[in-house]
Amino acid sequence: MARNNKILVPEARAGLDQLKGRVMKSKGYDVNMAEPDNVKYEIAKEQGVPLKKGYNGQLTSEQAGKIGGPIGGNMVKEMIKMAQEQMMRK
């Protein structure tokens, strides 16, 4: 699946991938830290969404949200937690 999402700082991609892997591993998913993006296939299988490698234009917005929501939502929660901890230290 192509990465169509653009991040503001492209150099941060590796850090975001590490965060994704760490967060999803803490949620109980089997994550290959070398390829943390593959956790989406495990989530899709759990949700009954027919996600496959390559083009997935047949997916509805609802199906895509069932996959991306848990990943992105948990990443945002972790980033907020990290920011709060950093603010407490200052």
7-43 residue pLDDT tens: 789 899 999 999 999 999 999 999 999 999 999 999 9
Nearest to 2 by CA among 77, 52, 61: 52
Measured in whole angstroms, how far is the alpha carbon of residue 4 from the centre of its chain? 14
4-13 confidence digits (pLDDT tens): 667 789 899 9
